[in-house]
């Protein structure tokens, strides 16, 4: 129990950040049918700007986080307007590759900004912990779970109940019909990118908290959200949350138990656990737990 | 008049008039293509005479990238399935070659066998793995496939790092295979018909030969029944299936052939680069090859060759250019605005974006536009 429960809590914490990034993927996928490979770079930039607002400008931490999210939203919307908008109506393959190009550019920008050091985001949780019975819980893990899930809930509520959310859902159903109904489709694309980049920024901050810290190579963590969206279903926010938590826990349990029980697999197996789950998910349920089955016609 | 004479009479002064389907489908269906190919081949063949050792290394890299690019173009260009796992198959080929043809040390295994054995196997082993993975990949399409191959890439990288007898282990790496063909060491300085050719120059000529063979094979595949099946799957997979193209088999074949090319390219790449660590076969290498295909020209053979030149030479040109620019430092870790490496990566990313937005057909498309301009001159169309 002393290993199992803390391991599960750590898994839920990291899983909730995966879910947060995955929701960003899902929002863009629903709006434009594109998978945004630039998400990892946006995540790193989120951590950088949080740290910048805290240490250089001197904002209190919560305001710095919000400010960083706003900056990220602006970067996301700008990227969409410059690089992705010209590709509307062209194959999704092209658009996805453009996001790969954007990923390369933004990663260089991020590593130039961050430099060779490990970046801390100046969070209030640090390594604080408390115990419940014999189990030690880190505050930062709770913060990750609470902040991620509430951010996802806010965005989910926005999409489900607000007028703008309705417009976004209409756009993802049928762009032309939405346009005919007077919905500014282009602005919906921008909004989707802004939302998704802001969420990625928040996730970047959360990954940089506690004992973590951010380097430019941390970006690859965001790619673990790809197995999450496959397992959860490419177009389902609920799926992202469930799959994110599942994958986070699976990864954390592997890290705790694999060295003891399956050491022949080598070191750091937990890093590839999400991808093994991805392969399994595609074999058994290609459209994920909650995804819409793709219906195509000639 | 015989049929041949009729044809000649018909096409005299009308080079684009095809009197037979065979003629239109020929590899070199116009005289210009024949002349240009021959000219380029002659230039490529004579490069070792003019260029120094350093530049021959760059030229060899271009050739190897072209082989890998042609391979990726078969799956991603002709059959339209995006693969981010190309680097994994390249790594597989490289390690197959290194284990069979390399030298044993106390860390890694190597059997020092002949090139005739390791070169085909460097292609076949990745091809078999590709063939085994393909049913998984064939179930999904488009971006699902991109994510699946990304997963395979990460799992593969882990396997490479752990299998130290093969790769030397994370951060350590191993030496590449030896290049001995029937007792004749290719990677050695030699004098051929009175010309002094460096070791890398010799290897370049050998790679060029492989490129020509594999390039012609790919071109022939593309204009065969299978090639047309690939294009049908790419353009409308369901329609293709209804017309009797077996979807799974076609995707599987494309994936397998593409892996074969990747393996050969990987094996040759390690020889050019020398010592390689398992981290080499990562996502960035896959992206490099996607860039070769996209910048060169999707679903062409000449495209990836041009794309390979572009992708390999661009960093070199930037390095030369950067010496003239004051705000770019040429060393890592100084306080200048950007260093050369960062500038290279940024421009590389920008090129992918720019080509996709402005000229989706890539360098091949630019060539077509230039050609059509001069063809129609002095009229605009």
DSSP-derived pairing of the beta strands B338-339 and B328-329:
parallel
What's the rounded mean pLDDT across residues A63-75?
94
Q: What pLDDT was estimated at residue B140?
A: 72
Gap between the Cα atoms of A59 and A54, Å rounded: 5
Question: What proportion of chain A, given as a percentage, has pLDDT over 90?
Answer: 40
Closest residue by Cα to residue A238 from A159, A133, A142: A159
Q: What is the pLDDT of residue B333?
A: 55
Which stretches within B188-301 are classed as H helix? 199-222, 225-235, 237-242, 247-273, 283-296
Please count the other Cβ atoms lying within 10 Å of the Cβ belonging to residue B162: 18
Which of A11, A15, A26 minimizes the C-alpha distance to A229?
A26
Residue of A nearest to B338 (CA): A112
Which residues of chain B have a CB within 8 Å of the CB of A266?
158, 161-162
How many CB pairs lie under 8 A apart between chains A and B?
Answer: 119
Chain B residues in contact with A296 by the CB 8 A cut-off are 238
For the record, the structure tokens of B201 come out as 């120059």
pLDDT by residue, tens only, chain B of 381 residues: 677 777 677 767 776 777 777 777 787 777 778 888 899 999 988 888 888 888 899 999 999 999 999 999 999 889 888 889 999 999 999 999 999 988 888 888 888 888 888 999 999 999 999 999 888 777 776 678 888 899 999 999 989 988 888 888 887 888 888 888 887 777 878 777 778 888 888 899 999 999 999 999 999 999 899 999 999 998 888 899 899 999 889 999 999 999 999 999 999 999 998 888 888 898 889 999 999 999 998 888 889 999 999 999 988 888 888 777 766 666 655 556 677 788 888 889 999 899 988 888 889 999 888 888 888 888 877
Quick check: A227 and B139 CB within 8 A? no
Output Rg (C-alpha) for chain B, integer angstroms: 22
Inter-chain CB proximity A266 and B162 less than 8 Å? yes
Q: CB-CB: which of A112, A278, A283 is closest to B147? A: A278
- At residue A201, φ and ψ (nearest 5 deg) are -60, -45
CA B304, B305, B310, B312 dihedral sign is positive
- Any residues with CB less than 8 A from the CB of B158 and at least 6 apart, and which? A266, A268, A269, A271, A272
- Mean local confidence (pLDDT), A7-17: 91
The answer to whether B298 touches B77, Cβ cutoff 8 Å, is yes
Burial of A298 (0-12, 13-18, 19+ CB in 10 A): exposed
Q: How many residues does chain A have?
A: 298
Tell me if chain A has a CB within 8 Å of the CB of B151: yes
- Name which of A188-197, A204-213, B68-77, B266-275 the model is least confident about: A204-213
Cα separation, B91 vs B156, whole angstroms: 9
Asked whether the beta carbons of residue B155 and residue A226 sit closer than 8 angstroms, the reply is no
H helices present in chain B, as ranges: 3-11, 21-24, 31-50, 53-72, 86-101, 115-139, 143-162, 164-167, 199-222, 225-235, 237-242, 247-273, 283-296, 302-322, 340-358, 362-376
Average pLDDT in the A131-156 region? 87
If you average pLDDT over residues A154-163, what whole number do you get? 91
What does the pLDDT average to over A227-253? 91
Angle at B311 between CA B330 and CA B281, to 5 degrees: 90
- ipTM of model: 0.88
Chain A residue with Cα closest to B282: A220
Over residues B196-217, the pLDDT tens digits come to 888 888 899 999 999 999 999 9
Q: What is the average per-residue pLDDT within A277-282?
A: 88
- A58: DSSP letter: -
> Mean pLDDT over residues A170-188, rounded?
89
Q: Under 8 Å CB-to-CB from A107, ≥6 apart: which residues?
A: A40, A41, A44, A216, A219, B345
B78 part of contact set with chain A, CB < 8 Å: no
Task: Report the candidate in A257, A9, A256 with the shortest Cα–Cα distance to residue A132.
Answer: A9
Tokens read off for B60: 């060899």
pLDDT > 70 fraction of chain A, expressed in percent and rounded: 98
Q: What's the confidence (pLDDT) of residue B335?
A: 57
Chain B neighbors of A98, CB-CB under 8 A: 352-353, 356-357
* pLDDT at B115 (0 to 100): 87
pLDDT of residue A250: 93
B103 contacts chain A (CB < 8 A): no
A238-267: average pLDDT: 87
Please work out, in degrees rounded to the nearest 5, the angle formed at the alpha carbon of residue B211 by the alpha carbons of B207 and B215: 175
Contact A54, A222 (CB under 8 A): no
For A225, residues 6+ apart whose C-beta sits below 8 A from its C-beta are: A18, A19, A21, A22, A24, A25, A39, A244
Interval A230-249 mean pLDDT: 90
Q: Which of B84, B234, B352, B361 to mutate to test the interface with A (most CBs of A within 10 A)?
A: B352
**Whether B356 and A87 lie within 8 Å, measured CB to CB:** yes
Does B242 contact A298 at a Cβ distance shorter than 8 Å?
yes
pLDDT band of A152, cuts 50, 70, 90:
very high
Question: Is B147 within 8 Å of A230 when comparing Cβ atoms?
Answer: yes
Measured in angstroms, the CA of A98 and the nearest CA of chain B are apart by 5
Tell me how far apart the alpha carbons of residues B177 and B162 are, in angstroms, rounded to a whole number.
20
Token look-up 């919000």 returns: A66
User: Both ends of chain A: CA-CA distance in Å?
Assistant: 55
What is the distance between the alpha carbons of residues A138 and A150, in angstroms, rounded to a whole number? 19
Q: What is the pLDDT of residue A263?
A: 75
What is the predicted pLDDT for the residue at B27?
79
Confidence class of residue A4 from pLDDT cuts 50, 70 and 90? confident
Residue B228: what pLDDT?
A: 92
pLDDT attached to residue B270: 92
Q: What angle do helix axes A185-207 and A39-52 make, rounded to 10 degrees? A: 60
What chain A residue is nearest to B238 in terms of C-alpha separation? A298
Mutate to test the interface with A, among B140, B148, B159 (most CBs of A within 10 A): B148
The C-alpha atoms of residue A189 and residue A187 are separated, in whole angstroms, by 5
């Amino acid at each position: 129990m002393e290993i199992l429960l803390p391991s599960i809590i750590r898994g839920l914490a990291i899983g909730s950040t995966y879910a947060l990034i995955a929701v960003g993927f899902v929002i863009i996928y629903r709006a434009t049918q594109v998978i945004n490979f630039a998400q990892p770079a946006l995540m790193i930039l989120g951590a950088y700007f949080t740290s910048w607002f805290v240490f250089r400008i001197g904002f209190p931490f919560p305001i710095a986080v919000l400010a960083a999210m706003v900056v990220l939203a602006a970067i996301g919307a700008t990227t969409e307007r410059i690089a992705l908008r010209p590709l509307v109506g062209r194959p999704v393959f092209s658009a996805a590759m453009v996001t790969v190009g954007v990923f390369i550019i933004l990663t260089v920008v991020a590593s130039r900004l961050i430099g060779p050091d490990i970046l801390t985001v100046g969070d209030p949780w640090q390594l604080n912990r408390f115990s419940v019975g014999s189990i030690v819980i880190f505050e930062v893990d709770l913060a990750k779970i609470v902040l991620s899930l509430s951010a996802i809930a806010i965005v989910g509520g926005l999409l489900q109940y607000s007028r703008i959310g309705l417009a976004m859902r209409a756009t993802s159903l049928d762009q032309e019909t939405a346009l005919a109904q007077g919905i500014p489709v282009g602005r919906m694309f921008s909004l989707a990118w802004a939302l998704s980049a802001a969420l990625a920024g928040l996730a970047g901050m959360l990954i940089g908290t506690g004992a973590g810290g951010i380097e430019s190579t941390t970006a690859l963590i965001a790619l673990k959200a790809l197995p999450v969206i496959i397992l959860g279903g490419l177009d389902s926010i609920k799926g992202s949350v469930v799959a994110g938590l599942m994958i986070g826990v699976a990864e954390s349990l592997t890290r705790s138990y694999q060295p003891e029980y399956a050491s022949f697999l080598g070191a750091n197996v937990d890093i590839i656990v999400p991808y093994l789950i991805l392969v399994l998910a595609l074999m058994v349920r290609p459209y994920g737990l909650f995804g819409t089955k793709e219906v195509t016609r000639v | 008049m015989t049929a041949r004479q009729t044809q000649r009479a018909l096409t005299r002064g009308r080079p684009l008039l095809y009197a037979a389907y065979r003629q239109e489908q020929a590899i070199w269906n116009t005289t210009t293509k024949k002349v240009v190919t021959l000219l380029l081949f002659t230039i490529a063949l004579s490069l070792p005479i003019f260029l120094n050792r350093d530049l021959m290394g760059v030229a060899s890299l271009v050739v190897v990238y072209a082989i890998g690019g042609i391979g990726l173009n078969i799956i991603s260009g002709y059959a339209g399935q995006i693969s981010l796992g190309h680097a994994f198959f390249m790594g597989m080929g490289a390690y197959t070659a290194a284990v069979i043809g390399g030298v044993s040390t106390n860390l890694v295994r190597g059997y020092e066998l002949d090139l005739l054995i390791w070169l085909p196997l460097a292609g076949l082993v990745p091809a078999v793995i590709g063939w085994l993975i393909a049913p998984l990949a064939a179930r999904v399409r488009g971006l699902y496939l991109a994510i699946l191959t990304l997963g395979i890439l990460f799992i593969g990288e882990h396997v490479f790092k752990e299998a130290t007898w093969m790769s030397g282990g994370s951060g350590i790496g191993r030496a590449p295979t030896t290049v001995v063909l029937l007792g004749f060491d290719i990677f050695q300085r030699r004098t051929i018909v009175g010309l002094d050719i460096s070791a890398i120059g010799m290897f370049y000529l050998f790679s060029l030969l492989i490129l020509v063979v594999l390039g012609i094979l790919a071109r022939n595949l593309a204009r065969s029944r299978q090639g047309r099946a690939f294009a049908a799957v790419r353009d409308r997979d369901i329609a293709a299936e209804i017309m009797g193209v077996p979807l799974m088999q076609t995707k599987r074949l494309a994936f397998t052939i593409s892996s074969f090319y990747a393996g050969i390219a990987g094996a040759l790449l390690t020889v050019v680069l020398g010592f390689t660590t398992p981290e080499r076969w990562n996502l960035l290498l896959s992206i490099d090859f996607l860039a070769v295909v996209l910048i060169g020209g999707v679903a062409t053979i000449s495209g990836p060759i041009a794309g390979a030149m572009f992708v390999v030479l661009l960093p070199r040109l930037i390095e030369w250019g950067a010496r003239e620019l004051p705000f770019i430092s040429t060393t890592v870790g100084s306080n200048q605005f950007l260093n050369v490496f960062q500038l290279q990566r940024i421009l590389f990313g920008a090129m992918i974006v720019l080509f996709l937005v402005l000229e989706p057909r890539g360098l091949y498309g630019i060539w077509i536009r230039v050609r059509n301009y001069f063809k129609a001159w002095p009229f605009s169309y």
